[in-house]
Amino acid sequence: MSPVSALVLIQALDDRRQELLESLEGLSPEALQARPAAGAWSMLEVIEHLVVAEQVILQGLPDPASLVGRPRSLLQRCTYFLVVLILRFGIPVKVPSRRMLPTGTVPLAELRDRWDATFRWLRTYAEGLPPAGGDPAVFTHPVSGPITLRQALRLDGLHLEGHARQLRRLQPRRPA
C-alpha cells in the first residue's frame, strides 16, 4: 500500500468518524448515557468501544518505527474474511477482547480527543510507508491475528458503519 492510497482511505474513514461524532454533539449527557435496555450499551459506550477497539488493534499507538511485520497463517488469512463477513452483515458477536469493552465513564469530548489522536497516529504511520508500496502485517486483530494497514482500515470502516447504524437507532427522534 502506498502512503498516498493509505492516506486517502484514512481520510475517508476520518470523514465518516467526524460525521458520526457531529451527529451526537447536540445531545445531552443524559441522552448519551441512557441505556436502551438492561445490559445494552449507551451511545457514549458505543463511541468508547470504537475508540478503544482501534487502540487495541493499533497496539496502543506505539512509535510506528517499532512495528514489525509478522507472518500470517492460512487459518489467520481465512479468519480475517470471516471477521469481514460478520462486520459487513452486522452479525452480533461478543467483543473479541476485554480490552475493547467500554467503561462508560469517559466524556464525549475526551473520547473525541483520544480518537483524534488515533487518526493523527494513523496518518504518521501511513506517511512512513515506502513510496513503492508494501503493507506488512504489523497490527493484530484479536480474532484474525496479524493484519495489514489496508485490512485494519477495512475492518475499522465496517466496524464503524455497524455501530453508526446502532447509534442512529438509539438517537432520539428530532421534531420535523
Neighbours of 141 (CB within 10 A): 21
- pTM (predicted TM-score): 0.92
3-state secondary structure (DSSP) of residue 146: strand
Our CA angle for 140, 143, 145, nearest 5°, is: 35
- Give pLDDT < 70 ranges for the chain: 174-176
pLDDT of residue 64: 84
3-state secondary structure (DSSP) of residue 54: helix
pLDDT of residue 167: 94
pLDDT tens digit string along 6-46?
Answer: 999 999 999 999 999 999 998 999 999 999 999 899 999 99
Please give the CATH superfamily to which domain 3-170 belongs.
dinb family like domain (1.20.120.450)
Q: Which residues of 57-81 are buried (b: 16+ CB within 10 A; e: fewer)?
A: bbeebeebeebeeeebeeebeebbe
Residues in a beta bridge with 146: 140
Cell of 106: 469517559
79 to each of 62, 88, 95, 170, 176, how far by Cα in Å?
A: 25, 14, 16, 31, 45
d(CA 141, CA 139): 7
Residue 33 buriedness (CB in 10 A; 0-12 / 13-18 / 19+): middle
Cell of 131: 513510496
Average pLDDT for the chain: 92
pLDDT of residue 174: 62
Question: Is 95:101 a contact under the CB 8 Å cutoff?
Answer: yes
